[in-house]
Structure 1
Amino acid sequence: MLNYYKSSRFIARQSQSLRGFASSSIIKNASKEHVFTPLATQSVISPMRRNTTWLTALRAREKQKVEWINKHKAELESGKLSPHDLPLESYSYTKVGTLDVAERSPKDSFSYVILPFKSDEWFLDAYINAYGRLRIGQIFQDLDALAGVIAYKHCNPAQPVIVTASVDRIYMKKRLDSIANLNVTLSGNVTWTGRSSMEITIKAATNNRDLTVDSKLTKEDIKEEDIFLTANFTFVARNPETKKSFAINKLIPTTDQERADFVRAEQYNKHKREEAMKTALIHTPPSEEESNLVHKMWLQQRLDPDKASSFADVTSASEILPAENPTDKVSVQLMQETRIFSTSMMQPQYRNRHSYMIFGGYLLRQTFELAYSCAAAFSHNIPRFVSLDSTTFRNPVPVGSVLYLNATVVYTEFINRKLNPEAGEKQNERKYDFNQNSIPGTLIQVRVDSTVRDLKHGTTQNTGQFTYSYFVAANAEKSLIPGNTEDVKPKFYRVMPQTYSEMMEYLEGRRKAIDTASFNTYVRLMPNPNEVVSE
């Protein structure tokens, strides 16, 4: 049973080879399993499931517009209202059901999705990238869809419009090298609530049991040592009739761990805006240390451009200096030369349950894969995902609009990745390594700027900025040469800003890298801030 790219033809063909299943029952349900629908939204009882076709929703929207314009004709002619004041569109429903606020425990919203990679090779085929590793962008879609399911379960029986406000962080906890030999579970629950917002934590874990998409799972089945990825989302609830915030059910933690998660999330949400301002140069100018760093980079390029690849004078103290081993290669590329672009029409097949806006998980997948392509083109190697920093969805992306994505390598840093002994990785003996149980390489930070154009009005809006971090091992070139047994000189990568604007982008990227290192040290309890975990 293939979840992401089901088609009626594939299901009918597959039904002939599956013993114990009646082909008629599979074909009967085929029309309900949409080709672009994430697994978490496919169940008939899923609150994220679409209830209408696009044509039905489109006709309803046109009717709604005509009725609203006729009702407010005088206000529109006088200028008191504009067409943009049309109430929030949500064809799936317009009534919230109830305004009552109740109490809910984290267990009430616990939900999960099973990805049976070990049990079903065709299921796995939809989640594999070109290099036989997990296609993280596909996982992002499932994460966001599952977070939506959790949000609606918490708000039940009320039916507000719920949207993804931000992705607070997605990060790897351990390396995943043998995806074909493991099943994966995605599970989570609400960990904090405000008046109209909620934080949802989802964990991706491996599982050796023989599982199917219909297997049962409890919170106790998720072992801490099996978790390889954690994601935190913030959702907000709005009233579809008034367009104002909607009061949701209160979360009441019942265990010590639930209370600890609640306090952590509450503190994070209190300081989130403050921390965001610290990393944004538009609010906080460069420090003396940062100004000196910019001046050194500028001076080096101006006085002796040929020495732009010598980083001992310009690198931050936390970086590993290849100068201790002069045989290492350092590839330098100007920031402006790393930029790549993507333009795409937003089609209704990627809409959310409210019919008229694009599903947030699809945007995560698109930005991730452009960032991945940017890092790969920059390093001429296979990047490994490390983390997605805090990201806010500033404006929704309507169906029928044009989405512009711009990816740039804004920061690089020489750093270590933790070894994975289970994959046969041995201790390295390089003198300048912080830890012999790690692999040296380059942390590549890619920023993706997202803009949407409304075709009717010709206006453009900033829809969000996504910052992804990837790791490329210094000896990664060796794995790209089939059958290679000879040693390949370790290679590091460096992006070089030139203009003042690029220097500021570099510093902002550096601030985010420092923030991530602090997060690693104090939240993930990694003793070495100069060490990362990649997929």
Structure 2
Amino acid sequence: MPMRIPSLWSEARLAITREEETRSSSVAQNLHPVSPEPLTSKDLPSRNMHDSYTELILPFSSDPNLLEEYVNASGGIRTGKLMEHLDSLAGSISYKHVLGLTKSELKVEEMGLYIVTAGVERIDMLRPLTPDYDLRLSGQVIFTGRSSMEVVVRIERIGSKGIQQKDETILLGRFSMVCRNARTNQAYPINSLNISTDEERALFAIGKELKRRRASLAQRSLSRVPPSSEEAAALHENYLKFGEALSQHHYGHQQTSPEVKAIHTDISRGGSLHESGSSFSGLDYTAELVPMGETRVERCMLMFPQERNVHQKIFGGYLMRLAYELGFSNASMFCRGRVRFLALDEISFKLPVPIGSILRLESVILYDDFFKLREESGEENVYQLVHVGVKANVVDIKTGTEKTTNEFRFTWRSEERLKGNAGESGLGPQKVRKVVPKTYREAMLWLEARRAVAVGDEIRESTTRRQRE
């Protein structure tokens, strides 16, 4: 179920031109096609949950030529390219659920419908990616509404059969897909799900809860309601220790006091990863304060037809990869070292990106904190964590105005642990950059990022707990 069109762009342009001419002629003659009676999900055959299951194997261990296409500069795997595949996989799964039979080519004008990614709720990296194992990318529809679907995808490390090694899940993701009428762009009903086993009931309940929680989080957005008292207290403490110094133009290095270190332990975003403050209370660091507005990194580029999808728009997975790579670059420069991906906390797809448009990507460091990790050896180390926002805008070259098409949120941690722990001989205070909001809008972005990181903490802690059990 390919999400890329194998046909030539010249043929696609002719088809688009004919469609536009037909539409203009109908409008000029005041012709309105007679719409058939609207379908409902009850009119469509129901599908089994496992019918939409789809998988893709990447045999990195046995195919060095394939690995060469995915390897990064440090010998690891390009995570952004895998995200591009995950978005394509989620779309293929959705079409497979709606269409039933697998087709080698998708033609929107023949199907009368199209499916787009409404958003990505989360993608969490549970274990590091390594190039010495084969990877399995898989997923399926776990919940359906009237015209929407919840799709769960995952990446597994395929174990070696020779040494009786089990497969291991290293990434989990959740996509929200919506179906639209190809002619009217209105909601198009989709097939309902048959639920027959206890496992499917559990998955369906999870999908339903995900949709409910997404609606709840939208209502709790800081663009709608004020921050909670606990969030306001955390923001105020952050201002007292860092914001006031910025307002007095003390931009340089600032030695932290025991009082400041206590703030990062007690008023941090919370969660079980931060309940034990021993590692934090012994961390001696020097904070280099950086205004949030000075962390911006931009990229401006043309959108070419080679990156189009079945709807003759720029493929969403390609945009995910561009945003990931820009965010990774910004996080690396902020931490002054390489970083490791932890989570994609949210993606919202607001508008399609037209072919031939100018896309401006803007990345900003929204939040940073300390991240405590228990290594496989049992040792606990502290790393710097950064949460990055990336916004994609389409530029109107005639007016100079811009429209936001996508917003992305990523979380990374530094690869190098913080070494300035008290008691380590020969080591002075560790220099750590701290991002500080200066305006009310930046403060709300800081709190939204803090919320997203807290969710990631809970997921990582629950995963670690299951592994111990």
TM-score range, shorter chain: 0.7 to 0.9
SS at match of 1:52: coil
Is 1:65–2:65 an aligned residue pair? no
Per-residue CA deviation, residues 123-142 of structure 1 (Å, 9 max, x unaligned), is 11111111111110010011
Per-residue CA deviation, residues 10-38 of structure 1 (Å, 9 max, x unaligned), is xxxxxxxxxxxxxxxxxxxxxxxxxxxxx
Per-residue CA deviation, residues 285-343 of structure 1 (Å, 9 max, x unaligned), is 12333333333343444367478553336532445587733644544422222110111
**Which stretch shifts more, 445-454 or 283-292?**
283-292
SS at match of 1:170: strand
Give the equivalent residue in structure 1 for 2:331.
375
Aligned equivalents of 1:106 and 1:222: distance in 2? 28
Give the equivalent residue in structure 2 for 1:495.
435
SS at match of 2:356: coil
| Structure 2: stretches of 5+ with no match in the other structure | 33-38, 101-110, 421-425
Is 1:349–2:292 an aligned residue pair? no
Q: Which amino acid aligns with 1:287?
A: S
Indicate the percent of aligned positions where both proteins have the same amino acid: 32
Give the equivalent residue in structure 2 for 1:200.
151
Is 1:120–2:71 an aligned residue pair? no
Q: How many residues align?
A: 428
| Structure 1: stretches of 5+ with no match in the other structure | 1-45, 82-95, 211-220, 429-437, 479-485, 529-535
Per-residue CA deviation, residues 172-206 of structure 1 (Å, 9 max, x unaligned), is 12223xx2321111011111111111111111011
Give the equivalent residue in structure 2 for 1:264.
206
TM-align CA RMSD: 3.2
Is 1:508–2:448 an aligned residue pair? yes
Q: Using the TM superposition, give the Cα deviation of residue 411 of structure 1 relative to its aligned residue in structure 2, in angstroms.
A: 0.6
From 272, 290, 297, the equivalent of 1:333 is 290
Asked whether the equivalents of residues 94 and 115 of structure 2 are also in contact (C-alpha less than 8 Å), the reply is yes
Q: Which amino acid aligns with 1:173?
A: L
Give the equivalent residue in structure 1 for 2:53.
110
Aligned equivalents of 2:200 and 2:153: distance in 1? 14
Give the equivalent residue in structure 1 for 2:35.
none
Per-residue CA deviation, residues 368-395 of structure 1 (Å, 9 max, x unaligned), is 1111001001011111000011322111
Is 1:226–2:147 an aligned residue pair? no
Aligned equivalents of 2:400 and 2:42: distance in 1? 38
Q: Which amino acid aligns with 2:233?
A: N
Give the equivalent residue in structure 2 for 1:416.
372
Give the equivalent residue in structure 2 for 1:391.
347
SS at match of 1:364: helix
**Which stretch shifts more, 228-237 or 324-333?**
324-333
Give the equivalent residue in structure 1 for 2:5.
50
Is 1:174–2:115 an aligned residue pair? no
Q: Using the TM superposition, give the Cα deviation of residue 149 of structure 1 relative to its aligned residue in structure 2, in angstroms.
A: 1.3
SS at match of 1:413: strand
Q: Which amino acid aligns with 2:92?
A: V
**Which stretch shifts more, 509-518 or 316-325?**
316-325
Aligned equivalents of 2:214 and 2:391: distance in 1? 20
SS at match of 2:62: coil
SS at match of 1:342: strand
Q: Using the TM superposition, give the Cα deviation of residue 460 of structure 1 relative to its aligned residue in structure 2, in angstroms.
A: 2.8
Give the TM-score normalised by structure 1: 0.73
Aligned equivalents of 1:427 and 1:165: distance in 2? 40
SS at match of 1:167: strand
SS at match of 2:137: strand
Kindly tell me: are residues 74 and 389 of structure 1, through their superposed partners in 2, closer, same or farther at Cα, counting changes over 3 Å?
A: same
From 237, 245, 251, the equivalent of 1:296 is 237
Asked whether the equivalents of residues 114 and 186 of structure 1 are also in contact (C-alpha less than 8 Å), the reply is yes
From 145, 150, 154, the equivalent of 2:93 is 150
Give the TM-score normalised by structure 2: 0.82
Aligned equivalents of 2:436 and 2:61: distance in 1? 43
Aligned equivalents of 2:255 and 2:394: distance in 1? 37
Aligned equivalents of 1:180 and 1:71: distance in 2? 55
**Which stretch shifts more, 302-311 or 466-475?**
302-311
1:426-445 matches, within 5 Å, as 426-428=377-379, 438-445=380-387
Aligned equivalents of 2:112 and 2:292: distance in 1? 46
Aligned equivalents of 1:52 and 1:261: distance in 2? 37
Kindly tell me: are residues 99 and 442 of structure 1, through their superposed partners in 2, closer, same or farther at Cα, counting changes over 3 Å?
A: same
Give the equivalent residue in structure 1 for 2:261.
312
Asked whether the equivalents of residues 440 and 474 of structure 1 are also in contact (C-alpha less than 8 Å), the reply is no
Aligned equivalents of 1:375 and 1:172: distance in 2? 17
Aligned equivalents of 2:398 and 2:10: distance in 1? 19
Q: Using the TM superposition, give the Cα deviation of residue 71 of structure 1 relative to its aligned residue in structure 2, in angstroms.
A: 2.1
Is the strand fraction higher in 1 or 2?
2
Aligned equivalents of 2:393 and 2:278: distance in 1? 37
Kindly tell me: are residues 142 and 307 of structure 1, through their superposed partners in 2, closer, same or farther at Cα, counting changes over 3 Å?
A: closer
Per-residue CA deviation, residues 239-291 of structure 1 (Å, 9 max, x unaligned), is 1123221111111133222211110110120231211332x211121233333
Kindly tell me: are residues 105 and 409 of structure 1, through their superposed partners in 2, closer, same or farther at Cα, counting changes over 3 Å?
A: same
Kindly tell me: are residues 180 and 464 of structure 1, through their superposed partners in 2, closer, same or farther at Cα, counting changes over 3 Å?
A: closer
Q: Using the TM superposition, give the Cα deviation of residue 170 of structure 1 relative to its aligned residue in structure 2, in angstroms.
A: 0.4
Asked whether the equivalents of residues 253 and 288 of structure 2 are also in contact (C-alpha less than 8 Å), the reply is no
Is 1:140–2:96 an aligned residue pair? no
Aligned equivalents of 2:168 and 2:121: distance in 1? 22
Kindly tell me: are residues 372 and 488 of structure 1, through their superposed partners in 2, closer, same or farther at Cα, counting changes over 3 Å?
A: farther
